[in-house]
Amino acid sequence: MSTLKDFVSDYYTKGEDYSIVAGDTMTKIAHRFRMRATDLFDYKGGSEIANSARIRSGNINQINVGEVIKIPSLCDDIAAAPASIELPSDMNTTMNELWLDSIKMSGQDVFLAPNESGEFHCIKMKQIALEHGGSIAFKVDSQETHMNRTGSGTTGTFTPDLSADTDNLMVGTYHTHPYTRFTDGLDNDAVCFSGGDIAVSISDRTLVDLVQSGEVQFATIRTKKTPGSESTLEAEYDAEFDKHDDFNTAILESAKWVCNKYGYALYKGTGGNLAKQN
């Protein structure tokens, strides 16, 4: 089992060679990995030599076709991704705390009814479900992975702030899916990534993303097969979803189908221990 901390650390510290092609700039290359151009220019990728010394001009704005630099190393494909991942204990604790924060009881919506003695007592309180989450950052010098709490979203959406931690590299996001317990016909909370979640992961170019729904946790890991953009993912997800009758089955199978097509390893588990599903 690979720990998420070690996986992220290896991604950044065990770099691989990349040959510059026509049209490349340091900024464009860095964007693929959610890095600043200056970070990539100083990047060593497990070697003793920074990219700044690999560029003949020594100028971040003057790179040449054929020059070889170091870039972070993604898994080649889904099969090459770890069979299982373990969340650090503090990250697992944060995910569970956010899940509890996602379900609130509103004391302003108390319904009273008389009992047999004519005394009024509370029989129901209104439940409010709001997605919570934040971003996952990697501190290069100490090789530490930590979470930045962004706060709450709405009942069905959450938008992490990927610019919240300018001192470190943003590697991913996390959020909760608390709304399923209020959906008719559902008796559990195990709702995987939505099509919108995965589409945003592609556009944001995040390495790893996490979702917690009840006790169940999900994760996706980007690979070299993951494209830099897409235009039909959500429609494809919805089409696959419609093939299944059970909601929880439909959302998991739809996520698997989309992850297989778009090169994401998909994980599911509890207590911080997640196994690959595809």
Reported as a pLDDT band with limits 50, 70 and 90, residue 214 is confident
| 95-99, 103-107, 190-194, 196-200: range with lowest mean pLDDT | 103-107
- The residue-averaged pLDDT of 109-135 equals 61
Residue 8 lies in a domain: no
Are 209 and 253 in a shared domain? yes
We report the CATH number of the domain holding residue 45 as 3.10.350.10
The three-point CA angle 78-81-84 to 5° equals: 120
**Of 71, 92, 107, the domain-final residue:** 71
Measured CA distances, 146 to 60, 87, 174, 210 (Å)? 29, 11, 11, 13
Exposure string of 47-62, with b = 16+ CB inside 10 Å and e = fewer, is eeebbbebbeeeebee
Number of domains in the chain: 2
Higher pLDDT, 218 or 123: 218
- The residue-averaged pLDDT of 210-227 equals 94
pLDDT of 51: 96
Are 58 and 90 in a shared domain? no
Q: Is the pLDDT of residue 260 over 60?
A: yes
Burial classification of residue 254, based on how many CB atoms lie within 10 Å of its CB (0-12 exposed, 13-18 middle, 19 or more buried): buried
pLDDT of 105: 46
Strands (E), the chain: 2-3, 16-19, 68-71, 84-86, 103-114, 120-129, 132-139, 144-152, 169-176, 208-213, 216-222, 264-270, 273-276
pLDDT in tens, 139-151: 877 777 877 777 6
Are 60 and 98 in a shared domain? no
pLDDT of 111: 47
pLDDT of 162: 73
Are 48 and 174 in a shared domain? no
pLDDT of 5: 87
- The percent of the chain in helix, strand and coil, each rounded to the nearest 5, is 30, 30, 40
Alpha-carbon distance of 66 to 218, in angstroms, equals 40
| Domain extent for 174 | 84-276
The count of C-alpha atoms lying within 13 angstroms of the C-alpha of 155, restricted to the half-sphere facing its C-beta, is: 8
Q: Is the pLDDT of residue 157 over 50?
A: yes
Are 100 and 66 in a shared domain? no
Q: Which two tokens stand for residue 269?
A: 């588990």
pLDDT of 110: 46
Are 146 and 197 in a shared domain? yes
Q: Which residues, in sequence order, are CB contacts of 165 under 8 Å at separation 6+?
A: 135, 137, 148
Q: Which two tokens stand for residue 21?
A: 């092609």
DSSP state of 43: -
Are 47 and 181 in a shared domain? no
Residue 161 lies in a domain: yes
pLDDT in tens, 14-64: 899 999 999 999 999 998 888 889 989 999 998 999 999 999 999 999 999
pLDDT of 123: 47
Higher pLDDT, 113 or 98: 98
Alpha-carbon distance of 60 to 62, in angstroms, equals 6
Are 132 and 88 in a shared domain? yes
